[in-house]
Amino acid sequence: MHPTIPVRFHSILLLLPFLLSAGPVALAAEAPTITVRKSDALNVAFTGIGGSDGAAASRVVQNDLNLAGWFALVQPGMASFTVGGTAAGGVLQGKVTKGNETVLSKSYTGAPRVAAHKFVDDIVETLSGHKGIASTTIAFISNRSGRKEVYLADYDGANGRQLTHDNGLSVSPALSPDGRKLAYTGYQAGYADIYVIDLATGARVRLVKFPGTNSGARFSPDGAWLACSVSKDGNPELYVVGLGGGARRLTHTRGSESSPTWSPDGGEIIYSCDETGAPQLYRISTGGGVGRMIPVGFGYCTEPSWSPDGQHLAFNVRSGGGFAIAVMDLGSTGGGSARLVVQGENPVWGADSRHLVYSTGSTISLLDVATGKSTPVVSGLGKVTEPTWSR
């Protein structure tokens, strides 16, 4: 972890009861009854990682297995699967067995933390069939320096570091799916423009610089396009802009469009628009056309996030003077029954379509939507908002 940035991860905490009867952020009467779906977990025994780098790798593997949500860590005699290995000299040899059968055996190179993350991602995919989140990166906005700047960290809050040093206002970060680029809105030129940073080289390009405000960029699934809000036409409209050039307007309304999120196949975008008054969610083809309102059952909806498997939509709702996060299963009509899952805002799905990262103001937390467990992963950096997550 960077020595000057107190980013830390904590033990898993059970999510507090969602529906509070009192307090400044009590949920409004419009909120439906909250139900948390429990999921069956695979019984796994972790026997540790041996070798000179084993202690460091073991801590990461155990934490990753706990956060993954697919497993219950039990004693060897109670386990369906056993996880272990050795780590030394920059190589981790990981192994998973089921009785006398070897289910996974693979070598991983790199620092103990990096190798351990890769091992757990392979365990998740092998045993659950889902993509892992351990090797992913999050970014967010912090005002720790006195100004809003972009920070990066591992998904569990470790290795936190400040990315931008613009000494101005940096907002609305968005990581590309592969985690190699980051787009954000900055004011270095005196106006709200969208910049793209190559995280490997540090090179930065002022990509979207139309007259007016350019904000809220989000990468397409292939990382080649940005959807964003552009106000050069008089009010904020949705545009799709290529990283290699070219821009195309998608919406034509009297309202303000914001917060685009792409479908997994890149063919559609869900966004927020206040054309009818309070903001609601709409769905539009990336080829153009007219946006269709999504019936979600809430009167104020912003910041949608479309899950990578295409099955779920998370978004902000306003409740009792604060914000809560709702999750909806997308049906064939593009709408369905939404339920509140946690108090907070700015939800973003992880690669497994099971976890969300979200902000509560003083923390960035990781929510397992299937079980309701919430784990603070970033704290101690002042006000932290607008998380984004690689896949």
97-137 per-position pLDDT tens digit: 999 999 999 999 999 999 999 999 999 999 999 999 999 99
Q: What is the pLDDT of residue 29?
A: 33
Q: What is the pLDDT of residue 38?
A: 43
Q: Based on the domain organization, do 243 and 375 belong to the same domain?
A: yes
pLDDT at 65 > cutoff 60 = yes
Question: Measuring CA to CA, how many Å separate 162 from each of 7, 38, 149, 157, 357?
Answer: 11, 37, 7, 13, 19
Domain that holds residue 158: 137-389
Mean pLDDT over each residue of the chain, to the nearest integer: 89
Q: Based on the domain organization, do 105 and 177 belong to the same domain?
A: no
Q: What is the pLDDT of residue 331?
A: 65
Q: Based on the domain organization, do 282 and 385 belong to the same domain?
A: yes
Compute the average pLDDT of residues 176-187.
97
CATH classification at residue 161: 2.120.10.30
Q: What is the pLDDT of residue 133?
A: 98
Calculate what percentage of the chain has a pLDDT beyond 70: 88
Compute the average pLDDT of residues 365-372.
97
pLDDT at 12 > cutoff 50 = no
Q: Based on the domain organization, do 289 and 313 belong to the same domain?
A: yes
Cα–Cα dist 343/322, whole Å? 8
Q: What is the pLDDT of residue 327?
A: 97
Q: What is the pLDDT of residue 334?
A: 52
Please say which residue of 76, 111, 128 terminates a domain: 128
Cα–Cα dist 7/169, whole Å? 21
pTM of the entire structure? 0.88
* pLDDT tens-place string over residues 277-298: 999 999 999 998 999 999 998 9
Q: Based on the domain organization, do 150 and 112 belong to the same domain?
A: no
Residue closest to 280 by CA, chosen among 359, 334, 321, 226: 334
Q: Based on the domain organization, do 95 and 141 belong to the same domain?
A: no
pLDDT at 73 > cutoff 60 = yes
Q: Based on the domain organization, do 149 and 244 belong to the same domain?
A: yes
Please say which residue of 128, 162, 197 terminates a domain: 128
Q: How many folded domains does the chain comprise? A: 2
Cα–Cα dist 91/112, whole Å? 8
* pLDDT tens-place string over residues 218-254: 999 999 999 999 999 999 999 999 998 899 999 999 9
Q: Based on the domain organization, do 172 and 289 belong to the same domain?
A: yes
356/20: higher pLDDT? 356
Q: Lowest mean pLDDT: which of 297-301, 329-333, 360-364?
A: 329-333
Q: Based on the domain organization, do 180 and 260 belong to the same domain?
A: yes
Compute the average pLDDT of residues 143-153.
96
Q: What is the pLDDT of residue 51?
A: 98
SS3 track for the chain:
CCCCCCCCCCCCECCCCCCCCCCCCCCCCCCCCCCCCCCCCEEEEEEEEECCCHHHHHHHHHHHHHHHCCEEECCHHHCCEEEEEEEECCEEEEEEEECCEEEEEEEEECCHHHHHHHHHHHHHHHHHCCCCCCCCEEEEEECCCCCCEEEEEECCCCCCEECCCCCCCEEEEEECCCCCEEEEEECCCCCCEEEEEECCCCCEEEEECCCCCEEEEEECCCCCEEEEEECCCCCCEEEEEECCCCEEECCCCCCCEEEEEECCCCCEEEEEECCCCCCEEEEEECCCCCCEECCCCCCCEEEEEECCCCCEEEEEEEECCEEEEEEEECCCCCCCCEEEEEECEEEEECCCCCEEEEECECCEEEEECCCCEEEEEECCCCCEEEEEECC
Cα–Cα dist 225/293, whole Å? 24
In this structure, is residue 2 part of a structural domain? no
Q: Based on the domain organization, do 289 and 203 belong to the same domain?
A: yes
Strand order, beta sheet including 149-154: 161-162, 149-154, 137-142, 384-389
CATH classification at residue 75: 3.40.50.10070
Compute the average pLDDT of residues 21-36.
34
Q: Based on the domain organization, do 83 and 159 belong to the same domain?
A: no
Backbone angles phi, psi at 162, to 5 degrees: -80, 130
Q: Based on the domain organization, do 89 and 209 belong to the same domain?
A: no
Question: Measuring CA to CA, how many Å separate 65 from each of 38, 69, 119, 381?
Answer: 17, 7, 10, 26
10-24, 254-268, 315-329, range with greatest mean pLDDT: 254-268
In this structure, is residue 4 part of a structural domain? no
Please say which residue of 100, 128, 156 terminates a domain: 128
Q: What is the pLDDT of residue 336?
A: 63
Residue pair 215/169 in contact by the 8 Å Cβ criterion: no
Angle between helix 54-68 and helix 112-128 axes, rounded to 10 deg? 40
Compute the average pLDDT of residues 136-148.
97
pLDDT at 8 > cutoff 50 = no
* pLDDT tens-place string over residues 29-59: 333 333 334 457 999 999 999 999 999 999 9
* pLDDT tens-place string over residues 312-346: 999 999 987 889 999 999 865 555 678 999 999 99
